Amino acid sequence: MTEERIGTATLNLRRDFPHVPTEVWEAAIRKDLKGDDYDAKLVWRTDEGIAVRPYYRSDALAGLDAQVSAVPGQFPFVRGTGAAWEINQVGVVEEGSVRADLVLEAGADSVQQLGIALGDGVEKLVNLCEAQPVDVAAREIQFVFAVGSTYFFEIAKLRAARMLWARVVEQFKPIKLDACRMNLHVRTARINKSVCDPHTNILRATTEAMSAAIGGCESLTVEPFGFDDHIAINIQRVLAEEAHLNGVADPAGGSYYIEWLTASLAHEAWKLFQRIEAAGGYTASLDWLAEEIARSRIAREKSISSRDLTMVGVNNYPNGAENSGNIERFPAVDVAPFPQFRLAEPLEIIRERTARHATKTGRLPKVLLLKRGELRMRTARANFSRNFVGCAGFDITESEEYANTDADLIVLCSSDPEYLPFAQEVCSAVHIPVVVAGYPKEQIEALQAAGIKDILHIASDLVERLTSWQGRLRVAK
């Protein structure tokens, strides 16, 4: 800029930021990967079986013209009603509603929630149409969804739900297309809430409420769990009156990723809906649907116990100083064949067992993280051990000395080459169990011969290991 002063030149985006072909971006990514597998490193394969790429460009919207060009408040309602959501903290659900929220609480993924909601909704609509026109019948059906922590998926899920229902009702030939608009109430999920580190539930509820608002719910309930009712309603007030999420219709519209994700979820959910219809409808399909969701539940529970999925304060980063007190649980709901559960329950049982032991004996089980040797590895393994063992609610200290310790368990934190002499020294000097943090696979037999009782590492099953050590340390049940 030699002829114009800085700040006065005309900005020319086309000239200053020329188009970069996707092939160029991909080549740059592969160069940075330095031979690592692209899919393994950068492609997220979700519980729904959808492969999410690291970025999306306009070509992701190919074939989605009708969806992307839709107008808020008009068929197929993928972009919502165009009106602000209603704060509904009472959380009253109409009798006979389509309860997709309870399917989520049983462990279902987004595709299962959508497909089952469609199947149930169509069955209800067919029954209602026996006595009244479809224009009246369709608007009598309320859909209730819950939103979890997978932020963008939850936004896309609600957009896909409205689009799918609109397409279904259209086939019943209503006089007015407004009959195709989904009556959509949303609440925050229960499955991912915990009495462990309960203040994190506020953060979870906030992102969930944002997903619901951006996704276009008609009414919203933020359910408190471990925090006060006034905080729950204020989450909605902040989003509406300070973040102004109620002032923009479909703020996610046009996002390459969210539009693609909306279409992907709708496509997969439609296939599940077709299977339900082919099997005779929703009621006739309940048995095999329950089996599929049970498998989904097992996979989600395993992801928590293996720590493939992190719940802050529950299976990682525990708050050792917390006192969760007597937090009121969510009310039990009988929704056979989809039993409700919370992901944190197995670890809550472990924490509560430790707390009962402390009440009975006057002390928590004590764990000493004994550090020695190379600084980086001993620090990393001490941090790992604090996060792992701390999920049981044990009293944890760190030291480089073990003489006169009153600990019930010692965890050695060092580097692989230093472990064997370290273990031989400590195991011969103390009369309490000693374990190793990490996975020195070449030395495991020698470590066990030296007296090491367990190896705690990143692939260890958290629930199994902590329950086992509670038993070994005679923690009262």
Check whether residue 293 and residue 403 sit in a common domain: no
pLDDT band at 323 (very low <50, low <70, confident <90, very high): low
**Alpha carbon distances (Å) from 380 to 180, 263, 383, 465:** 56, 42, 5, 20
Q: Is the pLDDT of residue 7 over 70?
A: no
Residues whose CB falls within 8 Å of the CB of residue 247, separated by 6 or more in sequence, listed in order: 84
Shared-domain flag, residues 230 and 366: no
103 shares a domain with 223: yes
* Residue 91 is assigned to a structural domain of this protein: yes
Q: Give the pLDDT score at 1.
A: 43
Helix residue ranges per DSSP H, 171-285: 200-215, 229-241, 256-278
For the beta carbon of residue 28, count every other beta carbon within 10 angstroms: 11
Task: Residue 443: give its domain's CATH number.
Answer: 3.40.50.280
Shared-domain flag, residues 113 and 200: yes
Whether residues 99 and 205 share a domain: the answer is: yes
173 and 114 inside one domain: yes
Q: Is residue 2 part of a domain?
A: no
In this prediction, residues 51-71 reach a mean pLDDT of 94
Q: Is residue 57 part of a domain?
A: yes
Task: Give the Cα-Cα-Cα angle 275, 280, 284 (nearest 5 degrees).
Answer: 100
Question: Looking at the structure, do residues 185 and 79 belong to the same domain, yes or no?
Answer: yes
With a cut of 60, say whether residue 4 has pLDDT above it: no
Clarify whether residues 451 and 365 are in a common domain.
yes
CATH number at residue 286: 3.20.20.240
Q: How many CA atoms, within 13 angstroms, populate the side-chain half-sphere of residue 453? A: 18
Examine the domain organization and report whether 293 and 377 are in the same domain: no
Q: What is the pLDDT of residue 6?
A: 59
* Residue 132 shares a structural domain with residue 196: yes
301 and 363 together in one domain: no
Measured in degrees and rounded to the nearest 5, phi and psi for residue 45 equal -100, 110
Q: Which two tokens stand for residue 431?
A: 């009369």
243 and 107 in a single domain? The answer is yes
User: Helix, strand, coil proportions of the chain in percent (round to 5)?
Assistant: 50, 10, 40
Radius of gyration of the chain (CA): 27
Residue 417 tokens read as: 């080459």
The Cα–Cα gap between 299 and 309 comes to 11
Q: What angle do CA 319, 320, 322 make, to 5 degrees?
A: 70
Tokens of 217: 């719910």
Provide the pLDDT for residue 51.
96
**DSSP secondary structure string, 92-138?**
---TT-EEHHHHHHTT--HHHHHHHHHHHHHHHHHHHTTTS-HHHHH
State the distance between the two ends of the chain, measured CA to CA, in whole angstroms.
76
Q: Indicate the residue among 268, 283, 305 that finishes a domain.
A: 305
Q: Which two tokens stand for residue 463?
A: 């629930």
Boundary-marking domain end, from 278, 305, 332: 305
**443 in a domain, yes or no?**
yes
Q: In what order do the strands lie in the sheet with 183-188?
A: 86-87, 219-221, 183-188, 142-147, 98-99
Q: Which two tokens stand for residue 432?
A: 């309490």
For residue 9, being part of any structural domain is answered with: no
Q: Which residues of 411-445 are buried (b: 16+ CB within 10 A; e: fewer)?
A: bbbbbbebbbebbbebbeebebbbbbbbebeebee
* pLDDT bucket at 334, cuts 50 / 70 / 90: low
Within a 10 A sphere around the Cβ of 123, how many other Cβ atoms?
18
Is position 167 within any domain? yes
Band (pLDDT 50/70/90 cuts) for residue 5 is: low
Segment 374-396 shows an average pLDDT of 97
Q: Is 37 part of any domain?
A: no
Q: Please report the pLDDT score of residue 10 as a whole number.
A: 76
pLDDT tens readout for residues 172-196: 999 999 999 999 999 999 999 999 9
Residue 18 backbone dihedrals phi, psi, to 5 degrees: -65, 155
Q: Is 467 inside a domain boundary?
A: yes
* Secondary structure of residue 203 in the 3-state scheme: helix
Domains: count for the chain: 2
Q: Between helices 375-389 and 462-472, what is the axis angle to 10°? A: 80
Q: What is the pLDDT of residue 331?
A: 74
Whether residue 337 has a cis bond before it, omega within 30° of 0: yes
Q: Which of 305, 330, 364 is the last residue of a domain?
A: 305
Q: What is the mean pLDDT of residues 396-418?
A: 96
**Residues 412, 434: Cα–Cα separation, whole Å:** 7
Domain residue limits at 437: 356-472
Q: Which helix (H) or strand (E) holds 436?
A: strand 434-437
When pLDDT is cut at 50, 70 and 90, the band that residue 94 belongs to is confident
| Mean pLDDT value across residues 68-86 | 94
- pLDDT for 16 equals 83
Confidence check: pLDDT of 23 > 90: yes
Residues 6+ apart with CB under 8 A from 299: 47
